[in-house]
A and B are shown apart, each in its own frame.
Chain A
Amino acid sequence: MRADIAVHDRPHTRELDLEIAGLDALELDAGRRHSRVRRVWSATWPKLTAIAIAIGLWQVVVWSGWKPEYVLPGPGAVFSQLWDDLLAGDVLEAARLTLRRALWGFALASLVGALIGVLVSRWRILRVAFGSFITGLQTMPSIAWFPLALLLFQRSEGAITFVVVLGAAPAIANGVINGADHVPPLLLRSGRVLGARGLGLYRTVTMPASLPSIIGGFKQGWAFAWRSLMAGELLVIIAGVPSIGFRLQAARDVQDTPGLLGTMIVILVIGILVDSLVFGVAERAVRTRWGLVDPTH
């Protein structure tokens, strides 16, 4: 019976080959893509416009005379002083120190958060026990940890790291847990039929399928880490260590409002840059890979 089919099939097979090739050629879209330059520009100009509008509004408020200029200086005064400070190098020095703290704290938080996330998403019992606890931790304002941190670590780097990790780790763990929760059941079934079980299934299907959510968790974790760090640097000032937070406090103490606003701008810019250059790019890469980006946009 099988031989019959094979003989019968020959001419039919050739026809089939041609039809399949023809259909594939017809169905695949031409794949037009906008150039990279155009894509970057179309993502950038709305941001630049928004910044221009914000600065414009600020200038209008200053012109309105709502507050005297030594309390609320205009953008001109702030940016020219920021420029001088940048040239003098001490802003960069402070930013370097603060970023080093942020990276160290974030790395530690990533390790702890990812580990907890994997454990909790793997075992149902841990899930029931700690799931809502982790979400609860996430809603806890980081500033509320400082009194405890100061008691435990005194005024030291340890106190700052402690709070940064506690701020960021729950968000990261939650990203891992949510990702595992939202793996399409079809993909899990598909993995099981292929023979993956237990840890193998987790590695082959659950982990990679969770990647978008995991990146989301890291992104949120970074925002929490950065916020906690700023709070920490205001509260825990270590002598002889001129961090960004220290500059903020020092500027307030001597009523240097242009310096104060300039430092705030530095904090904002660093936050935005890391968010869009690191996490934005990672997110976009994953979405493109998965085909979740509309190619016409």
Chain B
Amino acid sequence: MTLLDSSRVNRSIAPDPCTTPRATAVDHHAGAGAATPAISINRVSRAFGAGAQRIVALDGVDLTVQRHEFVSLLGASGCGKSTLLNILAGLDRPSAGSAAVDGRVGLMFQESALFPWLTVRKNVETALRLRGMPRRERTGRADQLLESVHLAGFGDRRPHELSGGMRQRAALARALAQGAEVLLMDEPFGALDAITREILHGEVERQWSEHALTIVFVTHDVREAVRLGDRVVLLSSRPGRVVAQFDVDLERPRSLDSADVNDLASAITAELHREVRRHAG
């Protein structure tokens, strides 16, 4: 358990990949429900700047995510979603409160953030190297991972030679290479066309179930949030705060067009509108 505590400023808040205990998927699953949650966020606040320019991005956010839970984090722009993910990924610190993540953290962005100077395979191998895997095992493992996201045969391409959807799959393979148990996704499909998006929803769902991942999926697309999440968490804007949570008790795999998904999405959208209107006055 790595504590991300604002009071201990000199300590690295990132989970150390070498010392974090490596749990297998089975252990993970056996522990579900009873053991420590994958993510616990306690009254986390984060402010930027000072004086009149002070912006409160997050204000006392409370959130617990269980192991192997898929949580969609939904909010209008400026609700500090990305700030929250940065804190969980160890790239930023809370101004107050504490956040703890149990397990290795992977982070995916709207852009794939693959290294453009490396081939797709080398990108995956870099994650393996940084995790401490011996050189001779890397290539084989990288190819395995690429195959699992349907990119077998594309290992020698450079990121720019792939489509946006393929790049995101490569980024997913890289996150898996990292041994991520907790995957934070920051609007990963925001830049993709509708059909690619739908297909990638299926892909993420499959990897989530195969690797028993815990996923926090940030999006501003309500239907996408409902399509993927076990739970949809609605964040308010400026300051960011959890205003509502919706359990999604729909059977998987779901379809973006199904009536159930759309009904729940409409209810959540109505709530979202109220939240946005609150800022008019």
Query: Contacts of B12 on A, CB cut-off 8 Å?
Result: 197
Q: List 17 A-B contacts (CB under 8 A).
A: A2-B212, A16-B202, A23-B196, A27-B163, A186-B111, A189-B86, A189-B109, A190-B109, A192-B14, A192-B91, A193-B89, A194-B126, A211-B117, A286-B117, A289-B116, A290-B116, A290-B117
B161–A291 CB distance below 8 A: yes
Q: Which residues of A contact B (CB under 8 A)?
A: 2, 5-6, 8-9, 12-13, 16-17, 19-21, 23-24, 27-28, 186-187, 189-190, 192-197, 200, 204-205, 208-209, 211, 286, 289-291
B209–A16 CB distance below 8 A: no
B160–A186 CB distance below 8 A: no
Query: Contacts of B161 on A, CB cut-off 8 Å?
Result: 28, 291
A8–B253 CB distance below 8 A: yes
A189–B117 CB distance below 8 A: no
A291–B158 CB distance below 8 A: yes
- The A-contacting residues of B in range 6-43, CB under 8 angstroms, are 12, 14, 17, 29
Query: Contacts of A19 on B, CB cut-off 8 Å?
Result: 199, 202
Minimal Cβ-Cβ distance residue in B for A4: B252
B209–A5 CB distance below 8 A: yes
From A6, A23, A189, B199 is in contact (CB under 8 Å) with A23
Query: Contacts of A194 on B, CB cut-off 8 Å?
Result: 126-127, 130, 174, 178
From B89, B115, B165, B252, A8 is in contact (CB under 8 Å) with B252
Per-position binary interface string of chain B over residues 147-191, scored 1 when its CB falls under 8 Å from any chain A CB and 0 otherwise:
000100000001111110110000000100010000000000000
User: A12 to B115, alpha carbons, bound, how many Å?
Assistant: 32
User: A196 to B107, alpha carbons, bound, how many Å?
Assistant: 14
Query: Contacts of A193 on B, CB cut-off 8 Å?
Result: 89-91, 105-107, 178
A23–B209 CB distance below 8 A: no
A2–B150 CB distance below 8 A: no
Minimal Cβ-Cβ distance residue in B for A200: B130
Query: Contacts of A205 on B, CB cut-off 8 Å?
Result: 115
Query: Contacts of B203 on A, CB cut-off 8 Å?
Result: 16, 20
User: A20 to B153, alpha carbons, bound, how many Å?
Assistant: 14
A2-B131 contact in complex given A23-B199, A189-B107, C-beta closer than 8 Å: no
Query: Contacts of B126 on A, CB cut-off 8 Å?
Result: 194, 204
Query: Contacts of B130 on A, CB cut-off 8 Å?
Result: 194-196, 200, 204
B113 interfacial by beta-carbon distance below 8 Å: yes
B199–A9 CB distance below 8 A: no
On chain B, which size bracket covers the interface? 35 or more
B117–A28 CB distance below 8 A: no
A12–B202 CB distance below 8 A: yes
Q: Which residues of B contact A (CB under 8 A)?
A: 12, 14, 17, 29, 68, 86, 89-91, 105-107, 109, 111, 113-118, 126-127, 130-131, 150, 158-163, 165-166, 174, 178, 195-196, 199, 202-203, 205-206, 209, 212, 251-253
A208-B253 contact in complex given A2-B29, A24-B163, A27-B165, C-beta closer than 8 Å: no
Nearest chain B CB to A43's CB is how many angstroms away?
22
Query: Contacts of A200 on B, CB cut-off 8 Å?
Result: 130
B166–A24 CB distance below 8 A: yes
Query: Contacts of B196 on A, CB cut-off 8 Å?
Result: 23, 27
9 tightest A-B CB contacts, nearest first: A291-B160, A27-B163, A190-B113, A195-B130, A193-B107, A195-B17, A16-B202, A5-B209, A290-B116
Minimal Cβ-Cβ distance residue in A for B104: A195
Q: Other than A189-B86, A190-B114, give 13 A-B pairs with Cβ distance below 8 A.
A: A12-B202, A27-B165, A28-B162, A187-B113, A193-B105, A193-B106, A194-B174, A195-B14, A196-B130, A208-B115, A289-B116, A290-B158, A291-B116
Minimal Cβ-Cβ distance residue in A for B129: A204
Query: Contacts of A17 on B, CB cut-off 8 Å?
Result: 150
User: A10 to B72, alpha carbons, bound, how many Å?
Assistant: 25
User: A211 to B126, alpha carbons, bound, how many Å?
Assistant: 18
A27–B166 CB distance below 8 A: yes
User: A193 to B117, alpha carbons, bound, how many Å?
Assistant: 18
Query: Contacts of A16 on B, CB cut-off 8 Å?
Result: 199, 202-203, 206
Minimal Cβ-Cβ distance residue in A for B177: A194
User: A17 to B251, alpha carbons, bound, how many Å?
Assistant: 21
User: A21 to B151, alpha carbons, bound, how many Å?
Assistant: 9
A5–B113 CB distance below 8 A: no
A209–B91 CB distance below 8 A: no
Nearest chain A CB to B46's CB is how many angstroms away?
16
Minimal Cβ-Cβ distance residue in B for A201: B130
From B109, B150, B253, A20 is in contact (CB under 8 Å) with B150
Nearest chain B CB to A211's CB is how many angstroms away?
7
Minimal Cβ-Cβ distance residue in A for B230: A1
Minimal Cβ-Cβ distance residue in A for B118: A208
A9-B115 contact in complex given A189-B91, A195-B130, A289-B158, C-beta closer than 8 Å: no
Nearest chain B CB to A294's CB is how many angstroms away?
12
B117–A289 CB distance below 8 A: yes
Query: Contacts of A21 on B, CB cut-off 8 Å?
Result: 150
B158–A186 CB distance below 8 A: no
Nearest chain B CB to A72's CB is how many angstroms away?
50
User: A286 to B212, alpha carbons, bound, how many Å?
Assistant: 39
Nearest chain A CB to B257's CB is how many angstroms away?
15
A13–B163 CB distance below 8 A: no
Minimal Cβ-Cβ distance residue in A for B184: A193
